[in-house]
A and B are shown apart, each in its own frame.
Chain A
Amino acid sequence: MKDITARALNIAQVRGAAYADIRVVSRDTQRIAVKNGKVEALQQDETQGFGVRVLVNGAWGFAASSRLELQHVEHVVTQALAIAKASALVKARDAHLGPPVDITESYETPIKINPFTVPMNDKITLLLKADEEMRRVKGVKVTRAEMAFVRENKLFASTEGSLINQEIVESGCGIVAQASDLQTREEQVRSYPNSVGRHQQTRGYEFILEQKLVENAPRVAEEAVALLSADQCPSYDAATIILDSSQLALQIHESCGHPIELDRVLGSEAAYAGTSFLTPEKLGRFRYGSEFVNIVADATVSGGLGTFGFDDEGVPAQRTEIIRNGIFVGYLTSRESAQQLGLGKSNGTMRADGWARPPIIRMTNVNLLPGAWEVDALIADTDDGIWMETNRSWSIDDKRLNFQFGTEMAWEIKGGKKTRLLKNATYTGITPQFWQSCDAVGNEKAWIVWGTPNCGKGQPPQVAHTGHGAAPARFRNVRVGVIK
């Protein structure tokens, strides 16, 4: 592949590109899905190609092709150059990348068991067993169990001299039970370890074995059935809630991870994903949360779904402070946006979805650092509240202020104990008010780096895999329950 990268960069330079990079990417995906005792999907997909990004006359062009042939490179580079020249026709300023990045390195996800060499039969057997355990529970209508594995090889090269090889491996799995009651038009689901199909990390098959899908299957199914006859979550204008770590992970993703993306802040996503309430004058002085809220963007944390060696501009993975004792102190940046805002070097968050898309600023692992509380002590310390667990719906406005989440399951807390199962729980709020109301965060014993394998952004659309470390945390004066 190095002959392809060398040829592409040479053509780009000779024809006037001030900067060019190329990524040659191959991605293998394996997915196994079981439903109602049947193997519903067994598939292996591979996709490969290369994308060339060029800077000409101060403007960007990008072209990509699945034809990994040396004789095809010139066509694609020529296309990228023509596109860049067209971009320059409607230009406001020249793009600047700042100091050059010249790195020759490689990175591989550290794994113990290669998921692509584990016999398919072992994977199917495990999923069928988990599915069977769920189906034993009377009242369950649909059961699903799933595994997914990803292996992505990336070769990055730039006209600044970088040449970086990476192999990223991901493993994910999950089970879901659905129960329905047509009389009451009620339908409930429970998922494990997380909703939206699965929990995922940059780890090997050892991650799958640690999740203990079979052992958790009966509980998951029983909870789905129990929710059908559970009480509707009441509505409160100002309640105390405790979010379990997986729900809190999505809360972090939506209300912290996205608004700290500097491309949103600078308007690049205004027409689609939106902008951000965290405007530049707030950097270093805005109270985002309470003193207990400490958030970092950490692309180096072990096993995180947003963990890698180098981003797709060749910038090394980093750990960046975002919220320090409640104060907003950092953005996710690219080389160009860091220059625009005078922040110096990029903190390495440019990520592309495969070979056919250009890199854009994406979350890495945006983590709420652990606090001091044992989870049992946190519940015992709550006189009157609601425990909410596992996301079921999520929505937030285009500036990332007004949010509403629903969870699969909730428990009423009275006198420091979980006392009553509740269904269809929702909570809503305004981002800084909500995080300022955080008065307790669980400790490292309950801290998990959850994987979000479905983050959509950009035009054309890109799906990113991000991570979010979280332990359960408590929030006061939260509006709960808007369902009539």
Chain B
Amino acid sequence: MLGENKIREITDQVLALSKADQTEVIVNATESALTRFANSYIHQNVAENDVQVRVRVVYGKKIGVASSNDVSPDALRRTVETARAIAQLQREDPEFQSLPAPQTIQRVEAFVDQTASFTPEQRAHVVGVLCKKAKAQNVVAAGAFSTTATETAVANSLGVFAYHPGTFADVSTVMMTDTGSGYASFTHQDARQVNAEALANEAIDKAVRASNPIALEPGEYTVFLEEYAVLDMLNFFGMLGFTAQAMQEDRSFLKGKLGEKVMDERVTIWDDGCAPNAIPLPFDFEGVPKQKVTFIENGIARDVVYDTATAQREGRPSTGHSLPAPNSMGPYPMHVFMAPGDTPKNEMLKSIERGIWVTRFWYTRPVHRMRVLVTGMTRDGTFLIENGQVTKPLKNFRFTTSYLDALNNVRAISRETKLFYNEWGSASRVAPALVVDGFRFTGVTA
């Protein structure tokens, strides 16, 4: 870890080196390690240490961006010069007004020393428990256990300086018999909270019960979606609909619908980068404090997230959801929460006369963005539900269904929620389990 003072030295150097009208610098330092296991042993085990510096310079309305992971004085000078040279070649951006001015940023404690200093032996111990339990039950263990410490800082020549250190641990496992598999995962700021026994039990129990699956005809079914599956829904809503850029480009399902009821009245979804019990980041990559943004409130569409560019287009303030410049994706909700319901998870099955239990979704992709129509597979534990009880393991289904329709057909929302880390989007999500009617399966795997 570099520490706040060292990072401030870097940002100060960059700001001093730049002769631009306005300058922004982002520093992202990461120390991460990941232990991977398959066939019930560790087959890959890695650690990585990196510091990235991204510089955005503004000359009038011309903007250039350059980045490097070399933080030596010469390299910083070179990166600033590259950004300047690019800006000189740039066309003017008539929409650009200014980099953000300083605002008060909330400090959120999210750094656990013991996670940052977690050793390869400690990770091996956790993995060892998972593999040992698997062997004892005659199943095969696979998965990964990662620990990460990050420092994110944003500074600009208008006086912004934002710094946030954070840690998280993420462990996931797939347990396999010859014909079935089960899944479990856990994410927390504190690596010591990982309970290998509990994770192993959850995944092994499911793998054993999922063995010798039968094929069921595809069609529309009531589904019990575990939190792992609901996570995927939140990812798609975040990507396809909950952003100002998607609205401005007429491709969000919320376009023209703000203030209208678009989901079941029990559904409330929001973004909160400051929530201390997730994996917070209290400011965005322009150094703007993250606002809590409610997307859906009791089924009513309320708002979407903005960065400076999309906000200025509509004459409103940024909500603090920018990604690093230059950013073609637009703003992005990194911390999506779905509100819990009032039904204990273990009682949600009772109302299902005939339906399908889905542990998680796999390889999901949008088929029609405006309808939030998504296709994908079920994976690692798909079961038939009859008369309120899980009765038989099923072969995995392909589904092609509208996630928007699904959240209009909610029968129950669990009282419990689960925290997830999404490695591809550097994002965290909190999801409950759901019972949904009319979920459309369109195929079965061989």
Check if A430 is an interface residue, CB within 8 A of chain B: yes
Chain A residues within an 8 Å CB radius of B327: 41
Check if A464 is an interface residue, CB within 8 A of chain B: no
B66's partner among A45, A61, A128, A141 (CB-CB below 8 A) is: A45
Given known contacts A46-B68, A64-B48, A460-B423, A86 and B120 CB-to-CB distance under 8 angstroms: yes
Check if B59 is an interface residue, CB within 8 A of chain A: no
Check if A285 is an interface residue, CB within 8 A of chain B: no
Could you tell me the distance between the alpha carbons of A144 and B251 in the complex, rounded to whole angstroms? 15
Chain A: CB-nearest residue to B371:
A185
A401 touches B445 (CB 8 A): yes
Chain A residues within an 8 Å CB radius of B34: 459-460
Could you tell me the distance between the alpha carbons of A106 and B290 in the complex, rounded to whole angstroms? 49
Check if A320 is an interface residue, CB within 8 A of chain B: no
Given known contacts A40-B326, A47-B68, A460-B46, A271 and B377 CB-to-CB distance under 8 angstroms: no
In the complex, how many angstroms separate the beta carbon of B33 from the nearest chain A beta carbon?
8
Check if A66 is an interface residue, CB within 8 A of chain B: yes
In the complex, how many angstroms separate the beta carbon of B215 from the nearest chain A beta carbon?
12
A64 touches B91 (CB 8 A): no
Q: By the criterion of a CB under 8 Å from any partner CB, how many residues of chain B are at the interface? A: 92
Taking CB atoms and an 8 Å cut-off, the chain A residues in 87-105 that contact chain B are 87, 89-93
In the complex, per-residue mask of A460-478: 1 if CB is within 8 Å of any chain B CB, else 0: 1100000000000000000
Given known contacts A86-B121, A271-B38, A482 and B65 CB-to-CB distance under 8 angstroms: no
Chain B residues within an 8 Å CB radius of A439: none
Check if B142 is an interface residue, CB within 8 A of chain A: yes
Could you tell me the distance between the alpha carbons of A80 and B33 in the complex, rounded to whole angstroms? 11
In the complex, how many angstroms separate the beta carbon of B360 from the nearest chain A beta carbon?
11
Chain B: CB-nearest residue to A72:
B49
Chain B: CB-nearest residue to A38:
B93
Chain A residues within an 8 Å CB radius of B42: 59, 86-87, 89-91
Could you tell me the distance between the alpha carbons of A461 and B426 in the complex, rounded to whole angstroms? 12
B91 touches A39 (CB 8 A): yes
B65 touches A41 (CB 8 A): yes
Could you tell me the distance between the alpha carbons of A80 and B87 in the complex, rounded to whole angstroms? 41
B375 touches A63 (CB 8 A): no
B38 touches A39 (CB 8 A): no
Given known contacts A43-B67, A45-B67, A47-B68, A60 and B44 CB-to-CB distance under 8 angstroms: yes
Chain A residues within an 8 Å CB radius of B158: none
A267 touches B86 (CB 8 A): no
A42 touches B127 (CB 8 A): no
Check if A126 is an interface residue, CB within 8 A of chain B: no
In the complex, per-residue mask of B411-446: 1 if CB is within 8 Å of any chain A CB, else 0: 000000000000110000000000000001011111
Taking CB atoms and an 8 Å cut-off, the chain B residues in 1-55 that contact chain A are 32-52
Given known contacts A92-B39, A124-B91, A459-B144, A60 and B45 CB-to-CB distance under 8 angstroms: yes
A41's partner among B256, B328, B373 (CB-CB below 8 A) is: B328
In the complex, per-residue mask of A379-396: 1 if CB is within 8 Å of any chain B CB, else 0: 000000000000011111
Given known contacts A43-B67, A271-B173, A482-B400, A401 and B446 CB-to-CB distance under 8 angstroms: yes
Could you tell me the distance between the alpha carbons of A307 and B123 in the complex, rounded to whole angstroms? 37
Chain A: CB-nearest residue to B75:
A46
Given known contacts A178-B251, A271-B174, A42 and B326 CB-to-CB distance under 8 angstroms: yes
Given known contacts A42-B326, A89-B128, A402 and B398 CB-to-CB distance under 8 angstroms: yes
Check if A71 is an interface residue, CB within 8 A of chain B: no
In the complex, per-residue mask of B72-112: 1 if CB is within 8 Å of any chain A CB, else 0: 00000000001100110111011100000000000000000
B144's partner among A144, A272, A357, A479 (CB-CB below 8 A) is: A272
In the complex, how many angstroms separate the beta carbon of A312 from the nearest chain B beta carbon?
14
Chain B residues within an 8 Å CB radius of A84: 45
Chain B residues within an 8 Å CB radius of A274: 362
Chain B residues within an 8 Å CB radius of A267: 38-39, 140, 142
Check if B368 is an interface residue, CB within 8 A of chain A: yes
Check if A67 is an interface residue, CB within 8 A of chain B: yes
Check if B366 is an interface residue, CB within 8 A of chain A: yes
Chain B residues within an 8 Å CB radius of A360: 44
B37 touches A404 (CB 8 A): no
Chain A: CB-nearest residue to B135:
A92
Chain A residues within an 8 Å CB radius of B251: 178, 180, 187
Could you tell me the distance between the alpha carbons of A47 and B443 in the complex, rounded to whole angstroms? 44
Could you tell me the distance between the alpha carbons of A65 and B71 in the complex, rounded to whole angstroms? 13
Given known contacts A86-B124, A393-B366, A61 and B45 CB-to-CB distance under 8 angstroms: yes
Chain B: CB-nearest residue to A30:
B86
Could you tell me the distance between the alpha carbons of A483 and B86 in the complex, rounded to whole angstroms? 46
Taking CB atoms and an 8 Å cut-off, the chain B residues in 367-418 that contact chain A are 367-371, 373, 375-377, 379, 396, 398, 400
Chain B: CB-nearest residue to A399:
B445
Check if A280 is an interface residue, CB within 8 A of chain B: no
Check if A428 is an interface residue, CB within 8 A of chain B: yes
Check if A240 is an interface residue, CB within 8 A of chain B: no
Could you tell me the distance between the alpha carbons of A91 and B41 in the complex, rounded to whole angstroms? 5
In the complex, how many angstroms separate the beta carbon of A63 from the nearest chain B beta carbon?
5
A483 touches B400 (CB 8 A): yes
Check if A238 is an interface residue, CB within 8 A of chain B: no
Could you tell me the distance between the alpha carbons of A38 and B146 in the complex, rounded to whole angstroms? 41
Chain B residues within an 8 Å CB radius of A64: 46-50
B326 touches A43 (CB 8 A): yes
A393 touches B367 (CB 8 A): yes
In the complex, per-residue mask of A41-65: 1 if CB is within 8 Å of any chain B CB, else 0: 1111111110000000001111111
Could you tell me the distance between the alpha carbons of A121 and B89 in the complex, rounded to whole angstroms? 7
Could you tell me the distance between the alpha carbons of A394 and B375 in the complex, rounded to whole angstroms? 8
Taking CB atoms and an 8 Å cut-off, the chain A residues in 213-272 that contact chain B are 266-272
Chain B residues within an 8 Å CB radius of A398: 362-363, 377, 379
Check if A406 is an interface residue, CB within 8 A of chain B: yes
Check if B312 is an interface residue, CB within 8 A of chain A: no
Chain B residues within an 8 Å CB radius of A47: 52, 67-69
B249 touches A86 (CB 8 A): no
Check if B176 is an interface residue, CB within 8 A of chain A: yes
B89 touches A120 (CB 8 A): yes
Check if B143 is an interface residue, CB within 8 A of chain A: yes
B50 touches A395 (CB 8 A): no
Given known contacts A89-B124, A124-B89, A397 and B363 CB-to-CB distance under 8 angstroms: yes
In the complex, how many angstroms separate the beta carbon of B248 from the nearest chain A beta carbon?
9
Chain A residues within an 8 Å CB radius of B142: 267, 270-271
A268 touches B249 (CB 8 A): no
Taking CB atoms and an 8 Å cut-off, the chain A residues in 170-188 that contact chain B are 178, 180, 182, 185-187
By Cβ-Cβ distance, the 6 closest A-B pairs, closest first, are A41-B326, A86-B120, A180-B250, A271-B142, A92-B41, A402-B445
Offer 27 A-B interface pairs, CB within 8 angstroms, sorted by A.
A33-B328, A41-B326, A41-B328, A42-B90, A42-B326, A47-B52, A48-B69, A59-B42, A62-B46, A64-B49, A65-B49, A66-B69, A83-B46, A84-B45, A86-B123, A128-B91, A269-B38, A271-B173, A357-B48, A393-B375, A397-B445, A401-B445, A402-B377, A424-B367, A428-B398, A428-B442, A482-B400
Residues of B within 8 A of A (CB): 32-52, 63-70, 82-83, 86-87, 89-91, 93-95, 119-121, 123-125, 127-128, 131, 140, 142-144, 146, 172-174, 176, 249-251, 253, 255-256, 326-328, 362-371, 373, 375-377, 379, 396, 398, 400, 423-424, 440, 442-446
Contacts A90-B42, A268-B38, A395-B377 known; list 18 others, CB within 8 Å: A39-B91, A40-B328, A47-B68, A63-B47, A66-B69, A79-B47, A89-B42, A91-B42, A92-B41, A185-B371, A270-B39, A270-B174, A277-B446, A397-B377, A397-B398, A404-B443, A430-B446, A482-B443
